[in-house]
Amino acid sequence: MKPTPLPDPPTNQTNPDHPTSVAARNQVRRGWQKRLPQLSPKQWGYLMLAIATLILVVWAFQPAPVRVDVGTVEQGRLQVTVEAEGKTRLRDRYTIAAPVNGHLERITLNPGDRVQPGTLVARIEPLPLTAAVEEALGRLAEWKAQRAGVETQRPKTETLAQATLRIQKAEADHRQAAAQVAQAQAALEQAQRDRERAQQLEASGAIPRKDRELAELNETTKAKELEASRLAAKAAASEVEVARAALAVLQQERSDPDYLLRVYDARIASTEAELAKLRDDANRTDIRSPIQGQVIRVLQKSAQYVTQGTPLLELGDVSHLELVIDVLSSDAEQIQPGAAIWIERQDAPPLQARVRQVEPGAFTKVSALGVEEQRVNVIGDFVDTPPSLGDAYRVESHIVVWEGNNVVKVPLSALFRCEQEWCVFVVHEHRAQQRSVAVGRRSHVEAEIRHGLTAGDIVILHPNEQITPGKRVAVR
């Protein structure tokens, strides 16, 4: 039975403590007490238990608030960046090559060793060149001695026969040299085809860059061999001419000794030129550093015979590094020279760099998913280079393509699509309110809000299907 509420008894408004007012109130209260049912203590206990149970049932069926993560709408600086992987590269790389043919002594330098201009970095055994110098000196002395006694000498039959044999030998040597030229020419043409094929395979990603560089090096080596063969053929042809001239001289010696003197002068001049070249080669067997920097790579560590032009080691200055970042060609359209670059570092502040150049040509690169992409190299210069970076180090870069101040921005994870618009859930009085917003530029973590939100609004991050307009929420 639901009790009827008691009305307030009439009171004396002027003086509530007046005896008449008190008596009237007591009389009314006694009257209502007679109307109420008289409950025993046990019944009162049941009544209290029923009321408590009703309260628990109502509380149990009341929807619990959804726990959410929230973020704050801020007004400040926003940077839109292009994220890409890149690597460091020496701005100036020096490849030290063998200046002459010879036996290379073991290189004692290791990668990372410091070098100064003039530091001895490699050495080719000079003994063969020294012996060749001594031999040339002997021939020169012989020619000079023969020239001094030419007026008293007369050619003999045996001398003429030897001159004839010399011509035959020179002609045989010339034919052999011509055959070597043809062989070297064929080898060079094959190397050129191999190089073109390697460039095509590298462009399609079928082979690494190292194989293409080896093909280019092989082409260069074959070209040098062809040049050497042609020089040898030219020298053999010259020897034929010299031998024929010598025979003619012998035949004319009896009547024209002055001509023989001129021949000896020519031989002496030729030997002196050869001697000068040998001495120059002997002086170049000590290979020295042209720069101040570090040893980057040792390409030929062990002692071995090397030909002229063989790369021995690479030198560079790691304090002068540049960045090479390959980005999608569609992203490259937004990047301008001078744009800021931020380089992420683990447990350290990011490094700053600047875009120096966006290369005009793109190249094809196969992504990890097997998709061919057109990529463009972006070249950047460090504003400050730490000593921890070296050549060909991998870096994670963020290239700034747009920057604004006093921008109303919201965490990107708060946005979701609602029909044809962007929306967010704003927390207001512990309930989620859906709002449509106009989104401007976006970075990888934040987005510009042109209207729909104000600085200080609390938005729900990563909203799911449990969040609906008006839903009670609680912040985690």
Q: What are the Cα distances from residue 169, in Å, to 175, 287, 296?
A: 10, 38, 50
Q: Which of 3.40.50.300, 2.40.30.170, 3.40.190.10, 3.90.1520.10 would CATH assign to domain 80-90+318-403?
A: 2.40.30.170
Taking each helix axis from N to C end, the angle separating 157-203 and 209-252, rounded to the nearest 10 degrees, works out to 160
DSSP notation for 207-247: S-HHHHHHHHHHHHHHHHHHHHHHHHHHHHHHHHHHHHHHH
- Residue 458's contacts (CB-CB under 8 Å, 6 or more residues apart) are 70, 71, 72, 73, 426, 427
SS3 108: coil
- For domain 68-78+405-475, the question of CATH label 2.40.420.20 is answered with yes
Report whether 340 contacts 144 (CB < 8 A): no
pTM here is: 0.55
Tokens of 281: 């080669």
Q: Which two tokens stand for residue 120?
A: 């001895």
List, in sequence order, every residue forming a beta bridge with 88; answer none if it has no partner: 323
Rounded distance, CA 32 to CA 26, Å? 10
Full pLDDT tens readout for the chain, 476 residues:
344 444 444 444 444 454 455 566 666 556 555 555 566 777 777 778 888 888 877 766 666 788 999 999 999 999 999 999 999 999 999 999 998 888 888 999 999 999 999 999 998 876 666 777 778 788 888 888 777 776 666 666 677 778 788 888 888 888 888 888 888 888 888 888 888 888 888 888 788 888 878 888 888 888 888 888 888 888 888 888 888 888 787 776 656 566 777 788 888 888 888 877 777 777 667 888 999 999 999 999 999 988 989 999 999 998 899 999 999 999 999 999 999 999 988 888 889 999 999 999 999 999 888 999 999 999 999 997 776 888 999 999 999 999 999 999 999 999 999 988 999 999 999 899 999 999 999 988 999 999 999 999 999 999 999 899 999 999 98
CA separation for the pair 266, 54 (Å, rounded): 128
| Cβ atoms 287, 96 nearer than 8 A | yes
**Of 397, 359, 437, which is closest to residue 83 (Cα–Cα)?**
397
Q: Are 85 and 365 in contact (CB under 8 A)?
A: no
Phi, psi for residue 74 in degrees, rounded to 5:
-120, 165
The kind and range of the H/E element at 153 are none
Say how far apart CA 21 and CA 311 lie, in whole Å.
Answer: 120
Query: CATH 1.10.287: which residues of the chain?
Result: 96-288
Looking at the chain, the domain(s) classified CATH 2.40.420.20 span 68-78+405-475
pLDDT at 426: 96
**Running DSSP on this structure, what letter comes out for residue 472?**
B
Q: What is the pLDDT of residue 54?
A: 82
The answer to whether 60 touches 288, Cβ cutoff 8 Å, is: no
Question: In whole angstroms, what is the distance from residue 69 CA to residue 461 CA?
Answer: 5
Instruction: Tell which CATH classification among 3.30.1380, 2.60.120, 1.10.287, 3.30.300 matches the domain 96-288.
Output: 1.10.287
Q: In b/e form, how buried is each residue of 236-246, taking b as 16+ CB within 10 angstroms?
A: bbebbebbbbb
Facing residues of 435 across strands? Answer: 424
Greatest distance between any 2 Cα atoms in the chain: 178
- CATH 2.40.30.170 range(s) for the chain read 80-90+318-403
Beta strands 293-298 and 114-115 are antiparallel
**Beta carbons within 10 angstroms of residue 326's beta carbon:** 19
pLDDT for position 363: 95
d(CA 63, CA 181): 94
